[in-house]
Amino acid sequence: MNQLKELIDHKRKMDIFESEVAKLPQVNLPLVHRFTDGMYIREIHMPAGSVVTSRTHKTQHPFVVAQGMVDVIDEEGKIERIMAPYMGITQAGTRRVLKVLRDTVWITFHATDKKDPVAIADEITESTNDLLPDGFKQAYLGNKEDLWLLE
């Protein structure tokens, strides 16, 4: 019971942290979207010095850190330093805070036949943070001018 309470506390702390970060000036995070038969590949470029929060992942999927170095904080409060090159598996239910230590390129791979990044994001992730400011929940796609669709 105590472990469950601690996990709930860490998740709420992450909500509070994310809602406070959302009030700060936002960093440009260019995205590249690629599609193959049955797969969506999402590449995000994160500059050193930024803090990035993720939505909660609904699916298990592979990821690659192709460039850079980040400290990854999970919902349990554990910190892991990841340096490129690195390959991992994101488990369903995962949500992260990234402290970007060096310019980083993080690539994820998702099984889907969809070609619309917004629809895919809604299919594979969810925002569970009720503390985020209105209008912020769509920011995970970046600025429209930074969406690069490659087929």
pLDDT digits (tens, 9 = 90+) for 56-89: 889 999 999 999 999 998 878 889 999 999 999 9
pLDDT digits (tens, 9 = 90+) for 78-120: 899 999 999 999 999 888 889 999 999 999 999 999 999 888 8
CB 44 within 8 A of CB 78: no
Question: Residue 135 pLDDT > 80, yes or no?
Answer: no
Task: Give the integer Cα–Cα distance in Å for 19 and 136.
Answer: 9
CB 66 within 8 A of CB 59: no
Mean per-residue pLDDT, 10-27: 75
For residue 104, which of 48, 60, 63, 39 has the smallest C-alpha distance?
48
Name residue, tokens 């690659």: 64
Q: Where are the domains of the chain?
A: 2-134+146-150
Under the banding of pLDDT at 50, 70 and 90, the label for residue 143 is very low
Predicted TM-score of the model (pTM) = 0.79
**The pLDDT of residue 18:** 73
DSSP state of 48: T
**The pLDDT of residue 139:** 45
Mean per-residue pLDDT, 23-27: 77
The domain made up of 2-134+146-150 has a fold known as Jelly Rolls (2.60.120)
Which two structure tokens, joined as six digits, stand for 49? 């010095």
